[in-house]
Structure 1
Amino acid sequence: MADETVTEFDRAPDVERRARPRWRLFGKLALKFWSGETRRHAWLLTFFVALFIALQLAAQLSINAWNRYFFDALESKSVDALWQDVLLLPVLVIFSGLAASGALVARMTMQTHWREWLTETLAGWWLEDQRYYRLEVAADEQTSPEYRIAKDVQLAIDPLVEFAVGFVTAVATAAAFVGVLWTIGGALEFDLFGAHFILPGYLGLAAVAYAATAGGLVYIAGRPLVAAVSQKNEAEAQFLAELTRLKENAESIALIRGDADELMSILQNYKRVVAAWLRQIRCNGVVASFQSANGALVPLIPLVLVSPKYLSGALTLGAVMQLASAFVAVQVALNWFIDNFVRVAEWMASANRVDELTEALEGLDIGVIMGEKEFIDFGVSDDDEIHIEELSVAHRCGRVVVASANVVIPAGEKLLVGGASGTGKSTLVRALAGLWPWGSGRILLPKDAHIVFIPQKPYIPLGTLRQALLYSISDKEITEDMIHGAMRRCGIGYLIKNLDEERRWGQTLSGGERQRLAFARLLLQRPQIIIMDEATSALDEESQISMLRLFNEDLAFATVISVGHRSGMEDFHDKKLVLERRAAGAHITSRKLQKSLWHLFDDAALY
């Protein structure tokens, strides 16, 4: 049975998932801003963005027409017409400025609210149902979800709005000014090989053809930039994660004098960042050369194209200036892709990283990370007892830690799980706490049971000591006397005077103090089920006895499942289950406190 399970879990990831187009999940999730609860607000923002785009285009067309009137007045030396144009110019400038300002405010407002919504959605999804924990142990590679939510969401949303606004603006501008070139520029007549040709709207055709040629060349030259930006972002994220890991383990590293090794590791990671940046810089240089050449040619081409008609008298100076301005406007619009190629590459890389996080979170729910769709089934028991039925706890690759376990834990029972290191004790209690879903079978818990898990190193959030004590307690009214009583009962009464001080309590408190604080928090929470993993390891024997007495006195009603090796723990538990590894499979050795037989198989332990 174990071999079959390994084969099932070790299958390659779903081919369809690997082959699907990138950004599918990102697009599917992000576009719900316009179809979910925020749709009215989203469409209102969209309307204002579109309105100001139209006003900007109107301002551009007005200034373009003003160019013709002004230069015609100069050519004809008409002072009255010239003064009319001069007086009209401030009005056009103010109108253009207000339209541009409104477009900027509308666009940035949409970016801010869309990013806010997507960040709340992703962060909520990540933190719900312990996905933040399961993702760390399930992902084949480091996903750096905190960087993707904090940074990549911004880099995926902000440019996307700018691209959408830029694209719509470019299409509308190009269409409007191609119309100007077509009508004002007229047709080009020429003789070639004895034949007479008439090319209508030649300036409009030339503008589109030139923009398409330049855009195609830049696209071909800049394609490697997408991969380079993606590799750079990934290297930056890995470097940030390395620095975060160093900060979180600063004390342990300092105690064993690991400074030199950590410095070497950091510098090696940063070398990868530098190499990734150099690849992107080289690609940027190629794109920049095309952009520079295009920028130099664009103002000259329309003058060359209209000069024959001006010299023949078919066009006035004002018409020439209007056409030149219109040609440049078409190029700016149609070269939008060229000018934004680097940002498009950066957006594609960031959107891809957000998509990978979305895919990983979705994978936790549908089981694709393991290559199969079966998780441990968590349900509700018909009584106040915990029922474990045919439970198999497995590594995510399928190697079994616990197989076919059946047991009933009555309400209020104190269960001690023991065994040699590496037999899967911590993995088992994590499965019972709902933190480890990989495997099969059922775990049935009492309805609406309040479960608290205490690890070996309790979590102490930033803020005051009071906030640390009341962390995750929101459904109870806690009085000052209750807080003081719990602290005194757990031997940290001397910290009462520091309750409202803000410090890094996770670093200030010793390991033993942190564990005592966790027990004080238990007294305030008063949960129905308590699951502990070496929760008294940092306490001396006397302190451990004092804390364990809570389960026979203050918390006698609670069901307790704990992992521990230290002597004296058996005195405070009703039953002991010992996981032992044997050549033919692990099993439970009957001992004094053991009342239930678990059939266990340990192929590869996780902890």
Structure 2
Amino acid sequence: MSTPTSVTVPGPAVPVRALEIQSRLRLAATWALIKPYWKSEDRKAGLGLLAFVVALNLGIVYINVLLNEWNRVFYNALEQHDYAAFKTLLIRFSWIAAFFIVAAISRQYYTMMLQMRWRTWMTGRFMDHWLGHQAYYRIEQTHATDNPDQRIADDLRSFTDGALTLSLGLLNSVVTLVSFVGILWSVSGPISFALGGGEIVIPGYMVWFAVGYAVIGSLVAHLVGRPLIGLSFQQEQYEADFRFTLVRLRENSEPVALYRGEPTEKAGLGARFGRIRANWNQLMRYTRRLTFVNSGYSQFAIIFPLIVAAPRYFAGKMTLGGLMQMSSAFGQVQGALSWFVDSYSTLVGWKAAANRLIDFQEAIRIAERQDQEHTGVRDIEVVSTDDASIRLDALALALPTPRRSSSAQAALVAPFSLTIAPGERWLVNGPSGCGKSVLVRALAGIWPYGSGTVELPRAARMLFLPQRSYLPIGTLADALAYPDAGTAHSSERLQQVLRETRLGQLTGQLDVLDNWSLRLSPGEQQRLAFARALLQKPDFLVLDEATSALDEDTEAAMYELVVGALPRSAIISVAHRSTVARFHDKRLRYLPADGVDGQGLAPAVSYRVVHEA
């Protein structure tokens, strides 16, 4: 067996144009993402917590004002060798520090509480829309967005945490600026210099120095760091792709081991991690530049006010306490004006998460509107009726084809009509790839591609058994009863259907928590699906190659079981084996289509469907 040296990972690297799009601010869409929670049913609790956190922030700013005044008095006492005042001021500082600690701890605690409330509400909202209208299925069919699990789990957390951190930081900066700009104005005093034979006087000159310093720093930081938004967007995508591939390998460990596919898997994982590393290298370069700007900016800000104020101090126009108060006030004003610079790294990560959520939300909205991009065929209409039968009226099936594509293979099956009445037994067969599973999806009402109408009984229960059934992670009882909860049926009934489907060895494990899709063999999983049908007693049972992993004897036993237990249920089976034909009295056969399109180049449809008794 040859060992592959490289694997091409599907999908090219994100081009420069896409990186520019991902780096856009998209302010209106971001605000539309923020606003709904504050108008929701949870808004009272959220606004109450927000008001309390804001009050704590204002209290901390007030404490900083007290500390600034304390600096002036304290350093003047040191300069005057006033020991009594020194002791009094230390006691005052202890009280101020104690209040500061209590306020800081409370602010952190209640901010985290608000973050979780907001995240909980947004997670519920996204989950409702993602699962509603089966948007999760349609998004996967059209690949409208990548890794929705990561966007719900990680991006929502980053978005809510970052939104509160940044907004409260901005509020704190504004209040700090308002509180300290007057102090800095009065303490710094005017500065005068000769210009053109006259004297220019600038009152509160340190305020203007702080403003100019912050503006220049903000502009430089944005110019240097803006590409980080798009790079952070891509990093989240590549990390999620790599993590998904690892999970998929774990869930398919047995077939990979049987194929001896470890070298190929290792190469594929290495290629995906290579994307992470390449994007990370770009992040490193831009982060290094931004860190250089931020570090230089913050370090020089320490000595900048001392340098500017030094002439007045050494001229005897300012006391040591006044110098320290002015330095402290300048730091507060400059820090408030530098919110953009200091928060830029956080802002970049938050904006990348917001952009990913905006794209995900738009994909969900498109899926909800069934606004899929396909050519030549209108959407299948699904109608709920009071009739007891399933009716297909002029149903034509197609494949999803992008609107820009000129492919003539969008149409798959020519229009046909069919009625499936309760108690009927239908066998659907035809060549592999002809669209039999597409018909199953249309019967389920989840396949919009094509035309015609699917009328489904409103009161009827339908159960679909695909070739590989879905088994949720949980107890065996939950996996057996899905989509019902395991507690919806008695243990005796669950054990009974397990024995009837030749799974008696599992009767003692109903309360065992496990990943049953990995624990059970394909044949056991298919027998578990038949046990599920016995539990739920559907009006319509649709089996899509549901016995492909069973031997003929077990297959016959399963069919005899459901036919006997569900005499009034309609059974529709998609199967290749002729052995299941004796359990059905009607047949739906896929045959190659006759005729060509208008230009005589290719068949207008690939297959036609005929009914046989």
List per-residue Cα deviations over 1:213-246 (Å, max 9, x = no partner): 1111111111222222222222112111221222
Partner SS state of residue 564, structure 2: coil
Please state how far the C-alpha of 1:588 moved relative to its aligned partner: 4.9
Other-structure match for 1:575: 586
Which of 400, 409, 412 pairs up with 1:396? 400
2:487, 2:561 → 1: CA distance? Answer: 20
Equivalent residues in 2 for 1:16-95 (5 A)? 22=26, 27-95=31-99
Please state how far the C-alpha of 1:74 moved relative to its aligned partner: 2.2
Matched, 1:326 2:332: no
Which of 520, 527, 535 pairs up with 1:524? 535
List per-residue Cα deviations over 1:577-603 (Å, max 9, x = no partner): 111123524555767xx15xxxxxxxx
Aligned AA for 2:543? M
Please state how far the C-alpha of 1:494 moved relative to its aligned partner: 2.9
Partner SS state of residue 498, structure 2: helix
Equivalent residues in 2 for 1:153-232 (5 A)? 153-232=156-235
Which of 260, 277, 282 pairs up with 1:257? 260
Matched, 1:281 2:284: yes
Partner SS state of residue 178, structure 1: helix
2:423, 2:339 → 1: CA distance? Answer: 69
Identity %: 35
How many equivalent residue pairs?
A: 576
Contact (CA 8 Å) 1:550, 1:556: kept in 2 or not?
no
Which of 115, 121, 146 pairs up with 1:117? 121
Please state how far the C-alpha of 1:541 moved relative to its aligned partner: 1.0
Other-structure match for 1:11: none
- Identify the range of structure 1 (400-409 vs 149-158) with the bigger mean alpha-carbon deviation: 400-409
Other-structure match for 2:339: 336
2:346, 2:474 → 1: CA distance? Answer: 39
Aligned AA for 2:588? L
Matched, 1:144 2:155: no
1:305, 1:498 → 2: CA distance? Answer: 78
Contact (CA 8 Å) 2:147, 2:237: kept in 1 or not?
no
Other-structure match for 2:272: 269
Other-structure match for 1:605: none
RMSD: 2.3
Structure 1, unpaired ranges of 5+: 1-16, 596-607
Partner SS state of residue 426, structure 2: strand
Contact (CA 8 Å) 2:25, 2:351: kept in 1 or not?
no
- Identify the range of structure 1 (71-80 vs 37-46) with the bigger mean alpha-carbon deviation: 71-80
1:428, 1:566 → 2: CA distance? Answer: 18
Equivalent residues in 2 for 1:298-337 (5 A)? 298-337=301-340
2:609, 2:355 → 1: CA distance? Answer: 52
Partner SS state of residue 567, structure 2: coil
Other-structure match for 1:129: 133
Please state how far the C-alpha of 1:261 moved relative to its aligned partner: 0.9
Q: Displaced runs of 4+ in structure 1, greater than 6 A?
A: 17-21
In structure 2, relative to structure 1, the CA distance for the partners of 1:91 and 1:484 (3 Å cut) is same
Please state how far the C-alpha of 1:97 moved relative to its aligned partner: 1.3
In structure 2, relative to structure 1, the CA distance for the partners of 1:237 and 1:460 (3 Å cut) is same
Contact (CA 8 Å) 1:492, 1:513: kept in 2 or not?
yes
Aligned AA for 1:472? P
> TM (normalized to structure 1)?
0.90
Aligned AA for 1:41? A
Partner SS state of residue 579, structure 1: strand
Please state how far the C-alpha of 1:475 moved relative to its aligned partner: 11
1:295, 1:94 → 2: CA distance? Answer: 27
In structure 2, relative to structure 1, the CA distance for the partners of 1:341 and 1:254 (3 Å cut) is same
Matched, 1:382 2:386: yes
Partner SS state of residue 576, structure 2: coil
Contact (CA 8 Å) 1:23, 1:351: kept in 2 or not?
no
1:36, 1:291 → 2: CA distance? Answer: 38
2:22, 2:419 → 1: CA distance? Answer: 42
Matched, 1:427 2:438: yes
Which of 401, 410, 416 pairs up with 2:427? 416
Equivalent residues in 2 for 1:448-467 (5 A)? 448-467=459-478
Matched, 1:346 2:343: no
In structure 2, relative to structure 1, the CA distance for the partners of 1:518 and 1:41 (3 Å cut) is same
- Identify the range of structure 1 (39-48 vs 230-239) with the bigger mean alpha-carbon deviation: 230-239
In structure 2, relative to structure 1, the CA distance for the partners of 1:446 and 1:24 (3 Å cut) is farther
Contact (CA 8 Å) 1:378, 1:442: kept in 2 or not?
yes
Aligned AA for 1:363? I
- Identify the range of structure 1 (239-248 vs 502-511) with the bigger mean alpha-carbon deviation: 502-511
Partner SS state of residue 507, structure 1: helix
Contact (CA 8 Å) 1:577, 1:588: kept in 2 or not?
no
2:33, 2:587 → 1: CA distance? Answer: 48
Structure 2, unpaired ranges of 5+: 1-20, 403-409, 596-604
Other-structure match for 1:601: none
Please state how far the C-alpha of 1:477 moved relative to its aligned partner: 4.7
2:195, 2:513 → 1: CA distance? Answer: 86
In structure 2, relative to structure 1, the CA distance for the partners of 1:246 and 1:476 (3 Å cut) is closer
1:240, 1:476 → 2: CA distance? Answer: 33
Please state how far the C-alpha of 1:298 moved relative to its aligned partner: 0.6
Matched, 1:366 2:369: yes
Aligned AA for 2:445? G
In structure 2, relative to structure 1, the CA distance for the partners of 1:263 and 1:33 (3 Å cut) is same
- Identify the range of structure 1 (447-456 vs 126-135) with the bigger mean alpha-carbon deviation: 126-135
